[in-house]
Amino acid sequence: MRIYFRAHMASVSGLLNLCLLCVLESTALASNNHIELISENFRHILTWEAGNQSTNPTHYRVQYVDFRKRKKWNYSKECFNTTHLSCDLTDEFTDPRGQYSAKAEALMENGTSVWVNYVKLFTPIHQTILGPPTVHITGYDGYLITIQPPVCHLKSPDKQRFLSLVPDVYPELIYKVTLIKAGVTNESSRILEYLTNEGNFTTSIPDLFPMTNYCISVNATATINKNPHAIPSSWKCAVTGPMSELDYPVPAVICGCVLTFGLVLMLVLAMLKWIPVSNYSSRSYDNRIYYTEPVLLYPPEPKTFSKKSNHNIVTSTNLVVSNKVFF
């Protein structure tokens, strides 16, 4: 009976210890759903939440691994025995094409520890969020915009400088420019996209109304970046210049002038073809037409014939002819 009682008490004690350990684990760290890796412009922050009933101070350790190079977990030096609920892994995730994972360990007062894994694989060059670019506007002189790429937190291999987002990390960027009229709510926005491999990209926006206040916002994406949540820049506004200073489409104007000249030339040729040349000479004089007809003023004298010749010879014929004019 005593043996049975002792065995029963041992099983109850073990069950209580197991329940106590579960309670301590639940109070030290929240579930896996509350650990998150936030990455923006290649700055990587691992965050987690403590348990709702955690009252005693808990220390945390963070480990990371790059499955592309090796499968060995390493402790983060910056987040060893920290009391914070976040860890900056930017200096550990140095390869933009690496395949990383991370996990947090909670150390409790009784010496036990609890691990919470971030189970997803993370590739920075494909999954980091691209933040807002830097935008400058010159509105009065043709509405020029200059765009600088978002700040990059990746460092060079010698750790002496920060890399440029383009072309050091990405071969090219796509800038999506959203254009609106300031103070106009019922007019749809205008979207323009520019592909560039330049660090500082400058362009002008054509076909704008003169002396009008326009506002733009720009976000940056890359063809190999699969994260759709690019952060746009804040709105910036500027007033366009007068009509003579705007960047109008010159080829269209030239084509319109050539087409107009061609139509005028065709009309002139058509008029020359259907109007006779004689009419041009007659129009320079009087339009009246003169008719002349000979009139005899005196009766003709009788004709005399010579008998010595077999031919009829007219010895004299005196005719006085006058021109009578009829209108």
The CATH code of the domain that includes 26 is 2.60.40.10
Domain presence at residue 314? no
Per-residue confidence at 253, pLDDT binned at 50, 70, 90?
A: low
pLDDT tens track for 37-65: 999 999 999 999 876 555 455 789 999 99
Token readout for 57 is 């101070």
**pLDDT tens digits, 110-159:** 777 888 877 689 999 999 999 999 999 988 767 899 999 999 999 998 88
Dihedral over Cα of 115, 116, 119, 120: its sign:
negative
Inside any domain, residue 310: no
pLDDT above 90 covers what percent of the chain?
Answer: 43
Q: 271 lies in which domain range?
A: 250-281
Are residue 191 and residue 139 in the same domain, yes or no? yes
- Specify whether the CB–CB gap between 239 and 196 falls below 8 A: no
Is residue 75 domain-shared with residue 176, that is, in the same domain?
A: no
pLDDT band of residue 310 (cuts 50, 70, 90) is very low
Per-residue confidence (pLDDT) for residue 257, from 0 to 100: 77
Domain count, the chain: 3
pLDDT surpasses 90 at 296: no
179 and 100, same domain (yes or no): no
Give yes or no for residue 220 having a pLDDT over 60: yes
Contact 135, 147 (CB under 8 A): yes
The answer to whether residue 296 sits within a structural domain is no
Give the mean pLDDT of the chain.
Answer: 77
Q: Provide the H-helix boundaries in the chain.
A: 2-28, 124-127, 250-274, 277-282
Q: Please tell me the pTM assigned to this model.
A: 0.64
Q: Is the pLDDT of residue 317 over 60?
A: no
Does the structure show a pLDDT above 70 at 274?
A: no
The gap from C-alpha 310 to its chain's centroid, in whole angstroms, comes to 114
pLDDT bucket at 92, cuts 50 / 70 / 90 = very high
Q: How confident is the model at residue 5 (pLDDT cuts 50, 70, 90)?
A: very low
Q: What pLDDT does 109 receive? A: 76
> Would you say residue 46 lies in a domain?
yes
Q: Which of 90, 109, 127 is the last residue of a domain?
A: 127
On whether both 152 and 264 belong to a single domain, the answer is no
pLDDT at 302 over 70: no
Q: Are residues 179 and 78 in the same domain?
A: no
Same domain, 108 and 169: no
Instruction: Determine the pLDDT at residue 320.
Output: 44
Looking at the fold, whether 185 and 203 belong to one and the same domain comes out as yes
Neighbours of 95 (CB within 10 A): 15
